[in-house]
Amino acid sequence: MADDVNVRADEKLDDDEPVRLQPDLPPEIASPLAPFKGAEPQSPPWFKAAIAREPERSLVPVDGANIELLTWGDVGKPGLILVHGNSAHADWWSFIAPFLADDWRVAALSLSGMGGSDWRETYSFESFATEIWECAKAAGLYAAPVKPIYVGHSFGGSQVFYSACNHPDRMRACLMLDTGFGRPPTPEQIEKMRARAIAEGRPEEARRIGGPPSRTQPNRVYATLEEALTRFRFMPPQVPGNLYVADFIARRSLKRAPMPDGSGEGWTWKFDPFMWGKLNRDEMDRATPADAPPLAHIYGENSSVMKRNWNGEDYSSPIPASAPQVAIPDSEHHIMVDQPLALVAALRTILATWPG
């Protein structure tokens, strides 16, 4: 599945172990919020109005961990549950969900190890599926006449796809956003893909091939919020389409933490840095769509994830050719950052006519 989302950048690889730093990245990619020096960028009226529709926030206990849940709209309306990408959190949906809440009961959760949810000793696709299901029930999504639709972005798309294949009775349909498919590449495949990218004049892409690395150190604690915000970046690397969205997401990706030297409190990232290494990815072998409910896909037209082909010439998508598939123009992987209103329009259109 695709690797994803917000992580830190730092000059010292041994100091802040981010995700495959590329030292020659331009500053607008490596540190897009640095020019604001901790201040919030200007945002348009639509965005201010959307985030003003604050969700109800709660914690749902699931197998020994408290899972963060956000909800909008009235119980009894058809349900949507929204699942974020790797290292992200429920608030990635806080400026999207309000546009859907007049017609839907909308829920968004932070998977364990991310956002305001507890961390676990180990993670699995099955445990994530249980968290999504329990949060959907706690949000009242099954009080509607029809079952909810599961929606997931990137890594979250792989989670809702897994649920669709293994627990189709829990949902009416499954909608994925910029979700890549395929097992992790072998070392030989990685070298082949890197060589191809270099030969085709794509050295930046060649350096990104290989997926999320294993982490060996905890998240760094920054002395100030400004310093932490300057370390925020996206993975895969890209210029954020809207910096006010990036800033909103970044601020909600941070929490207070003691400084290692005992000098007081600083700021650190909410996600479990060891999550990827503690996740059993072999469970995706059980995800075959033969009995899955209807599937659909929305993706960024310029997404590096969708262009990347983990399995060389053998790659094939499990999404049927007849399924709705919508490309969002002028968008990379993080569609809600690049083209949030276009994403809202695409979601509204698909959900108004599909799955029927």
CA distance 248 to 336: 12
**According to the model, what pLDDT value does residue 16 have?**
35
CA distance 191 to 181: 19
CA distance 354 to 295: 10
**According to the model, what pLDDT value does residue 186 have?**
61
**According to the model, what pLDDT value does residue 105 have?**
98
Biggest alpha carbon–alpha carbon distance for the chain: 59
Q: Which helix (H) or strand (E) holds 72?
A: strand 65-72
**According to the model, what pLDDT value does residue 40 have?**
98
Place of tokens 């676990």: 120
CA distance 157 to 174: 9
How many Cα atoms sit within 13 Å of 56 on the Cβ side?
15
Q: Which CATH number fits domain 1-356: 1.10.760.10, 3.40.190.10, 1.10.3720.10, 3.40.50.1820?
A: 3.40.50.1820
pTM: 0.87
Place of tokens 């897009």: 32
Domain boundaries defined on the chain: 1-356
**According to the model, what pLDDT value does residue 13 have?**
26
Q: What is the pLDDT of residues 303-343, one digit of tens each?
A: 988 876 444 444 567 888 889 999 999 999 999 999 999 99
Beta bridge partners of 150: 81, 174
133 φ, ψ to 5°?
Answer: -65, -45
In a 3-state reduction of DSSP, which class is residue 345?
helix
Token pair, residue 14, equals 């041994």
Is residue 240 within 8 Å of residue 298, measured between CB atoms? no
b/e sequence 292-320, b meaning 16+ C-beta within 10 Å:
bbbbbbbbbebbbbbebebeeeeeebbbe
Q: What is the pLDDT of residues 147-178, one digit of tens each?
A: 999 999 999 999 999 999 999 999 999 999 99
Is residue 208 within 8 Å of residue 229, measured between CB atoms? no
- List per-residue pLDDT tens for the chain, 356 residues long: 233 333 333 332 223 333 445 557 899 999 999 999 999 999 999 999 999 999 999 999 999 999 999 999 999 999 999 999 999 999 999 999 999 999 999 999 999 999 999 999 999 999 999 999 999 999 999 999 999 999 999 999 999 999 999 999 999 999 999 998 755 556 676 677 778 878 888 776 666 565 555 566 899 999 999 999 999 999 888 999 999 999 999 999 999 999 999 999 999 999 999 998 899 877 777 777 788 999 999 999 999 888 764 444 445 678 888 899 999 999 999 999 999 999 999 999 999 999 98
CA distance 270 to 105: 27
**According to the model, what pLDDT value does residue 209 have?**
62
